[in-house]
Amino acid sequence: MLSEILKKETEPMIEAIYSDAFIQGLIRGDIDDAAVAHYLRADSLYLDEFAKLYALLMSKTESKETVRFLMGQMAFLLDGESEAHEVLAHAINRSYEDIIKDGEWYPSADHYIKHMYFNAYTREDIAYAISAMAPCPYVYRRVAQMALERHTFDTDHPYRRWFEFYANDMNDTIDVMFGIMDDAAAHMTEKEVGILRKNYLESTEHERRFFNMAATKERWKGADMND
């Protein structure tokens, strides 16, 4: 099945994400506060758009079951992940609202969301957009599982609940997304399946870039000229 192949194929990239500065900083608990704030500013914008992508896909499917899933995901995103974000804001002793009020589309986040929108707007079958979106829950679940398997977090560890949230709350989302991709792949040509695969691999790389963007506090070069 396509999803099983992709899970295996992306495991080295997910190991790399796990070893990179952002996740390791969360695990050690000594990540730079400014990197966490940078991540939250980008991620609040990213999740708002991710929710709107579901709305866009709703208009493209005939399946009521898929519409129900998409609606549930929208509600979850508009509200649900705030729990994970609150953990990060609390760890750096700042209010979430205060951190995100000057959110910006930093380059890597900007590139990532446009990859998803491109697939949602230019292709009729929602499986293409879903293949670009599925690494979003999958990478976080896998990274969180790795962290919880490999480390014992003290109960008062500032980021423990962030890992627990993503290790546990993504299962239904991932199953449905992989189901949509696998069903589509079963009747697609080899070339079309190749696009699903490429979308998925690129998004996994985008996930890595997104964390590194926060760790390095990436900005547009032109933005410095206004400082």
CA 203 to chain centre: 9
Q: Which is nearer to ligand NSP, 24 or 82 (CB)?
A: 82
- Residue 65 Cβ, how far from ligand NSP at the closest point, in Å? 22
Closest residue to ligand NSP, Cβ-based? 136
- Residue 216 Cβ, how far from ligand NSP at the closest point, in Å? 15
The CA dihedral of 25, 29, 32, 36, to the nearest 10 degrees, is 80
Q: Which of 62, 83, 149, 207 is catalytic?
A: 207
- Residue 149 Cβ, how far from ligand NSP at the closest point, in Å? 19
Residue ranges in contact with ligand NSP by CB under 6 A: 43, 46-47, 81, 136-137, 140, 207, 210
- Residue 46 Cβ, how far from ligand NSP at the closest point, in Å? 5
Q: Which is nearer to ligand NSP, 48 or 183 (CB)?
A: 48
Give the three-state DSSP class for 218.
coil
Q: Which is nearer to ligand NSP, 137 or 158 (CB)?
A: 137
- The percent of the chain in helix, strand and coil, each rounded to the nearest 5, is 80, 0, 20
DSSP string of 33-69, one letter each residue:
HHHHHHHHHHHHHHHHHHHHHHHHHHTT---HHHHHH
The helix (H) or strand (E) run that includes residue 220 is none
Q: Which is nearer to ligand NSP, 18 or 140 (CB)?
A: 140
* Residue where the block lists tokens 């990197």: 35
Residue 136 falls in the annotated catalytic set: yes
Active site residues: 136, 207
